Amino acid sequence: MVATPHGGQLTPRSVSKEQAQKLKETYPKAPVIEVTENTFADIEMFAVGAMAPLTGFVGKADYDSIIDNIRLTNGLVWPFPIVLAADQDTATAAQTVGAILLTFQGSEIALVEVEEVYEPDLERETTSVFGTNDASHPGVQYVQGLPEKRLAGPVHTFELPEQLYQDHRLTPAQTRSEFEKRGWETVVAFQTRNPIHRAHEYLTKVALEGVDGLIIHPLVGATKPGDIPADIRVQCYEIMMEKYYNPKRVLLAMFPAAMRYAGPREAIFHALTRKNYGCSHFIVGRDHAGVGDYYGTYDAQDIFNQFSFDDLGIHILKFEHSFYCTRTQQMATAKTTASSPEERIFLSGTKVREMLDNGQRPPEEFTRPEVADLLIQAYAKA
């Protein structure tokens, strides 16, 4: 059996066209707001049930509990508040009517039945969730830039605009069905927002040796400027799937969430939501979901030490910083080679991006040649 969803069951919030129309008729005076790309990603996650156990944007009690305890008020682990922001006038109107209608790029995407309006504590939130209130941090900057009020209540999602690689955007129900069809009872998930370089390939294959299957689950929601665009990354994943993985043991699917760059807390979110997709194991490597120098190399691994398996319901696989070893001419970690520091070539998505920005082709010690060719071509056209 694949993993049980967080909280016991999936919570898909999509409704039929008929139900959507009935909701709009029930709340004809609901104010309308155009949401950010980040909130659209949250809506898509709600739609498919990937936010389980959440059924909507959190209220003040859960907001406080998440920030202070990394748990919802019911005791379930949850790392950061999923919120809907609006200005004072819109929030007041929504509370009076009892609902708010959400649009994205001109399309109606959801209706939220508003049960509560409250003010966030931004300093406490950013310090707890991101470990800093420095406005240079992209997650902090985003939160600090939101309107002043938070609206809580259940989400009802409509038919969403088609997104990039729609055929690969498998829902939790679909990945679970695919795992069962393939006979996979244990599945390890790999989260990435970068092309798969040699270090990623190494740790995913090591992890795969201990389970039935691997899902490469790249994040394709909103990311910060400077990150490699999702369409280029997906082409890189497809090359890797075709040439360097066993397709019978690996599944490529898109993860629609937005990046928050919350380091340790975001690692928890990535693990819990992958449990919702049916995964039994989750890889946490060096500086997972990090940005700049805000987090220690293994902070995202260490945060899991405070939780039991009963808390999480998914096995966390922790990997040391891997590198290309010139002595053995293969990927390794400090556990698997006696090479000296001078014989170790460390790899990172940041380093690859720096090389591409400078017009340099990443060497084979960094990434497979076909991926390097694609990346250098894509950057030359940018």
Question: How far apart are alpha carbons 92 and 53 in whole angstroms?
Answer: 27
CB neighbours of residue 131 within 10 Å = 19
Confidence band for 171, pLDDT divided at 50, 70 and 90: very high
Run of H or E residues at 174: helix 172-182
In this prediction, what percent of the chain has a pLDDT beyond 90?
84
Catalytic residue among 13, 150, 169, 193: 193
Verify whether residue 194 is a known catalytic residue.
Answer: yes
pLDDT at 378: 84
Does residue 257 have a pLDDT over 70?
yes
pLDDT at 349: 66
In Å, how far are 70, 80, 107, 306 from 300, measured between CA atoms?
A: 14, 14, 37, 12
Confidence band for 163, pLDDT divided at 50, 70 and 90: confident
Verify whether residue 71 is a known catalytic residue.
Answer: no
Q: What are phi and psi of 103, to 5 degrees?
A: -125, 155
Superfamily of domain 166-255+320-381 in CATH is: HUPs (3.40.50.620)
pLDDT digits (tens, 9 = 90+) for 174-219: 999 999 999 999 999 999 988 888 999 999 999 999 999 999 999 9
Name 244's Cβ contacts closer than 8 Å, sequence gap at least 6.
Answer: 201, 368
Overall pTM surpassing 0.75 (yes/no):
yes
Overall average pLDDT of the 3-27 stretch: 98
Q: List, by residue range, all CATH 3.40.50.620 domains of the chain.
A: 166-255+320-381
Superfamily of domain 17-157 in CATH is: Sulfate adenylyltransferase (3.10.400.10)
Catalytic residue among 38, 194, 265, 274: 194
Does residue 264 have a pLDDT over 70?
yes
CB neighbours of residue 20 within 10 Å = 19
Question: How far apart are alpha carbons 353 and 373 in whole angstroms?
Answer: 14
Cis peptide bond prior to 147, omega within 30° of 0: no
pLDDT at 39: 98
pLDDT at 382: 63
pLDDT digits (tens, 9 = 90+) for 100-154: 999 999 999 999 999 999 999 999 999 999 999 999 999 999 999 999 999 999 9
Does residue 172 have a pLDDT over 90?
yes
Question: How far apart are alpha carbons 43 and 70 in whole angstroms?
Answer: 22
User: To the nearest whole number, what is the mean pLDDT of the chain?
Assistant: 95
Highest mean pLDDT: which of 73-77, 363-367, 374-378? 73-77
Does residue 45 have a pLDDT over 80?
yes
Q: Which of 303, 302, 314, 285 has the alpha carbon at shortest distance from 206?
A: 285
Q: List, by residue range, all CATH 3.10.400.10 domains of the chain.
A: 17-157
Does residue 224 have a pLDDT over 90?
no
Q: Which of 124, 12, 8 has the alpha carbon at shortest distance from 63?
A: 124
